[in-house]
Structure 1
Amino acid sequence: MRIEDYELLLKLNEIGTIRGTAKAILISQPAVTQRLKYIEDYFGEIIFIRTPKNLVLTPCGEIILEHAKRVIEEEEVLKNKLSQSSDEVLGTLSIACSSLISQRFLPKILGKYTNKFPKVTIDLVTGISEDIRRNHKDYHVCIIRGEQLKESTSIHLFDDPLYIFDTEPFPKDIIKERPLISFKSDDSMHELVDNWLYHHQQQIKPLRTMTVDQIETCKQFMKQGIGMAVLPKSVSDSMMDEFPHIALELDGKPVTRYTWLSYQEGIRELPQVDEFIKMLTNETFM
C-alpha cells in the first residue's frame, strides 16, 4: 500500500462519491474505481458500499480508515523530523488559506517560495475562513479573514476596507433601491455588511439579495447592472475609476476586513514553515 492509496480512501470518505473524488484529485473516474478495487482486494474487505447517492463506510471500512489516518499522520511526523535534521529546506508545508487571498495574492508568493525552495511539497487547502478556523490544527499555517484565531500566534497582514459598487450613481437626497448581489463568505463578512446597511437604511434599501458562489461572479454581475455589490478593496481597486461606489464607514471609521497569518506555537521550528512565514510577513499586499 502506498501513501497515495490511504490518501485516496480519506478523500473518498470526505467527498462521498467516486465522481466527486475523481474531479477533486484530477484523475478519471474509472481510475479511482480501479484503485479502490485494488485497495479492497489488498485488505480482502469491502470498504465502501456504493449507494445511488453516496459511498457508505462498512464496519471494516471504518477500521481501515482509522488506520489510514494514523499512517498519514506518522508519515507527516517522519517528514517533519527529517526536514528539521537536514541542512536543506525540504518537507511538506501545509497551508489553509482564505479563497480570496489564494486567488489574489498567494500565487505570486508561492511562486517565489517554490523557486527558492524547490524540494518543499506544498499542501494547499482553500475555502472560507469560517471552515478553516474549525480545522486550523490540521495545518502548519492558516491565512484567514475577519477576527484573529484564538489559541494561536496571529500576525496581522493587512487591512482590506469595504466598498459598495453599482453601475448607477449613489444619490444623496433619495433612498437608493436596488438588488444586492452577495458572494459566499463567512458569517463575519455578512455581519459587517448587514450592520452597515442597518445604519444606512435611509440611504440604501436592497430590494432583494442574490447570492453567488464566487467573488468574481459577484463582480461580473454588478458590472452587468444586475445590482449593487459590496467588495473589498483588494479585488476592486481597478474598478474605482469606472463604477460609482462609496466606502463603507461607521462613526467615521472604515468598515474593514482584517487578514491574519496564524500558526501553532513551536511550528516555526520546521524550516520550511519558518521560511514561508518570513516570506509572507515581508510581502506588501495593499
Structure 2
Amino acid sequence: MHIGFVRGDYKWIGGKRLLLEENLSLVSYSKIDLAELPTLPRIDYICDVKLQDMIDTWWSENFSVPPKVGIKVDKTDTCREMVAHDLGYAIMPSLVIKNTENLYQLPLNDKDNNPITRHTWMFYNQDDYNLKLVRTFIEFMDEINFQDMISKQN
C-alpha cells in the first residue's frame, strides 16, 4: 500500500497529511438539556473503535450512569433518520449531520472545554514519496481544501 486514508488518530511513523477535522455533536429532534441525557433514549450505531472511545469518554466525563440506549442500528444514516423521526438522540460526527437544519445539533466539548474532534488523515510511506505517481497524488491532495468543500455543501 502506498497511500491510506484513515479516520481517527493513530500512531504512524511515515508521512501524513490532515485532510479533515469534524466535531462530535449531540443530535436530537429538538433542543434538549444535557443534564437530562441519562433519562432520554439514545440511538447508537455501529462505528469504529476510535469513534466509540471518543463517545464513551465524553459520556463518562459528564455522567456517572450508563446511557439509556433504546435502539442500536448498523449505520449512521439510519441513526440520523431515526433521530429525525424523534425516536431518541444520538452522538455523531458533524459530517453525518451536514445539511440537516431541521435537527438540533450541539457540538460537544471535553472536560477542558475543548471541542471534541475527529481527524481524517492521509498516510503514506515516506520512501514511496520518491515514486512520481505517489508524489503527484500527494501534491494533488495537498491542493484540495476538504474543510472548505464540506462547508460549501451547506
Q: TM-score, normalised by structure 2?
A: 0.81
Within the candidate set 82, 85, 109, 1:249 is matched to 109
Q: Is the 8 A contact 1:148 1:154 kept in 2?
A: no
Unaligned runs of 5+ residues in structure 2 are 148-154
Instruction: Write out aligned runs for 1:1-286 (5 A).
Output: 139-171=1-33, 175-176=36-37, 177-201=39-63, 206-208=67-69, 210-239=71-100, 241-250=101-110, 251-286=112-147
Distance in structure 2 (CA, Å) of the matches to 1:234 and 1:285: 12
Q: Deviations over 1:48-79 (max 9, x none)?
A: xxxxxxxxxxxxxxxxxxxxxxxxxxxxxxxx
| SS in structure 2 at match of 1:254 | coil
Paired AA for residue 107 in structure 2: A
| Percent identity of paired positions between Structure 1 and Structure 2 | 22
Return the structure number with greater helix share. Answer: 1
Distance in structure 1 (CA, Å) of the matches to 2:139 and 2:42: 39
Q: Deviations over 1:200-223 (max 9, x none)?
A: 227x96312533222222211221
| SS in structure 2 at match of 1:218 | helix
Alignment correspondent of 1:88: none
Distance in structure 2 (CA, Å) of the matches to 1:149 and 1:143: 14
Q: Deviations over 1:224-261 (max 9, x none)?
A: 2222112212232322x321221110111001101111
Q: How many residues align?
A: 145
Paired AA for residue 235 in structure 1: V
Instruction: Please give the root-mean-square deviation of Cα atoms over the aligned residues, in Å.
Output: 2.2
Q: Deviations over 1:152-208 (max 9, x none)?
A: 212122221110101132126x52322222232221111110111112227x96312
Structure with larger RCO (C-alpha < 8 A, sep 6+): 2
Distance in structure 1 (CA, Å) of the matches to 2:36 and 2:77: 27
Paired AA for residue 228 in structure 1: Y
Q: Is the 8 A contact 1:170 1:245 kept in 2?
A: no
Distance in structure 1 (CA, Å) of the matches to 2:146 and 2:50: 21
Q: Deviations over 1:97-129 (max 9, x none)?
A: xxxxxxxxxxxxxxxxxxxxxxxxxxxxxxxxx
Runs of 4+ in 1 over 4 A off after TM superposition: none
Unaligned runs of 5+ residues in structure 1 are 1-138
Structure 1 or 2, whichever has the larger Rg, is: 1
Distance in structure 1 (CA, Å) of the matches to 2:70 and 2:58: 15
In structure 2, do the counterparts of structure 1 residues 195 and 278 end up closer, same or farther at CA, with 3 Å as the change threshold? same
